[in-house]
Amino acid sequence: MSASKKYKRVTVKSLIEMKSLGEKISMLTAYDYTMAKIVDGAGVDVILVGDSASNVMAGHETTLPITLDQMIYHASSVVRAIDRALVVVDLPFGTYQSDSKEALRSAIRIMKESGGHAVKLEGGKEIKDSIKKILNAGIPVMGHLGLTPQSIYKFGTYTVRAKEEQEALQLIEDAKLLERLGCFALVLEKIPASLAKKVAESIRIPVIGIGAGGDVDGQVLVLHDMIGMTHEFHPRFLRRYMSLYEEMTTAISEYVSDVKTSEFPNKNEQY
């Protein structure tokens, strides 16, 4: 039986069960009600209200500027749309790194004000106190290692991470630590496929990859990239399932032309 039939409502427990049964996990981003309704209806297991909303929705160059209030606005719109998917919400930059009490306050605001089901934080041992505190309050936490876009100014580029042995070993350590702390899943972004496979094999919690190859427990993409709305972004790992940028441009140009030539509206389109 496919996951979409078996799990009427996806929970953090279902995801761990999917890994143990060898059932791959599908995850996509959404930031608004209309898109989330389509994504949930199509059977996606996990909807990520990613801080990539900063780029995709607001046009910022990085994920750093998005605020907690803005994430709560996006997440509550998504939560109103869903019947089945687990909704995970990114804690934005600056809301969990300074101390664990602030991290807990931020996570509680997300859970209380948006109705999301879990939070995601970027980082390993350097944020372990924040993760512990949030987990102790009963809030499920998804980890995120490898390319962590909130640290873009430390890395300098969005290129593949953990190609060198030392960084790879640290990543494995961090993944094991996140499992020990009690995270329910882990996102690995843009790392060598062989390393991602090794991580997925060495921990029991599901590993969901983006640019991390196929030997992990699930995949995540940014919705607007996979439906081809963000046509200027084409990393190797991205598979485009539609070319919506071109299709929308054609449709909108036709509309403009129809308005200009009085082709729209016609007699059947008026009262």
Is 246 assigned a catalytic role?
no
Answer for which of 187, 188, 203, 227 binds ligand KIV (CB under 6 A) is 187
Q: Beta strands of 31-129 (E only): which ranges?
A: 46-49, 86-90, 118-120
Region label for 138, one of left (φ > 0), alpha (ψ between -120 and 50) or beta (otherwise): left
Q: Is 147 in the site for ligand KIV (CB under 6 A)?
A: no
Which of the residues 113, 189, 263, 269 is marked catalytic?
189
Helix (H, G, I), strand (E, B) or coil at 177: helix
Residue (148 or 269) nearer to ligand KIV, CB? 148
Nearest residue to ligand KIV, scored by beta-carbon proximity: 50
Residue (51 or 174) nearer to ligand KIV, CB? 51
Cis peptide before 265 (omega within 30 of 0): yes
Compute the distance between CA of residue 122 and CA of residue 118 in angstroms, rounded to an integer. Answer: 14
Minimal CA–CA distance to 70: which of 38, 92, 95, 45?
A: 92
Could you tell me if 269 and 258 are in contact, meaning their C-beta atoms sit under 8 angstroms apart?
no
Residue (26 or 29) nearer to ligand KIV, CB? 29
Site string for ligand KIV, 218-237 (x = CB under 6 A): --x-x---------------
Site string for ligand KIV, 17-46 (x = CB under 6 A): ------------x-----------------
Answer for which of 3, 26, 46, 52 binds ligand KIV (CB under 6 A) is 52
| Terminal alpha carbon distance of the chain | 50
Compute the distance between CA of residue 152 and CA of residue 55 in angstroms, rounded to an integer. Answer: 13
Compute the distance between CA of residue 266 and CA of residue 254 in angstroms, rounded to an integer. Answer: 15
Answer for which of 47, 210, 216, 229 binds ligand KIV (CB under 6 A) is 210
Answer for which of 23, 40, 90, 217 binds ligand KIV (CB under 6 A) is 90
Enumerate the active-site residues. Answer: 189
Binding site for ligand KIV (CB under 6 A): 29, 48, 50-52, 90, 187, 189, 210, 220, 222
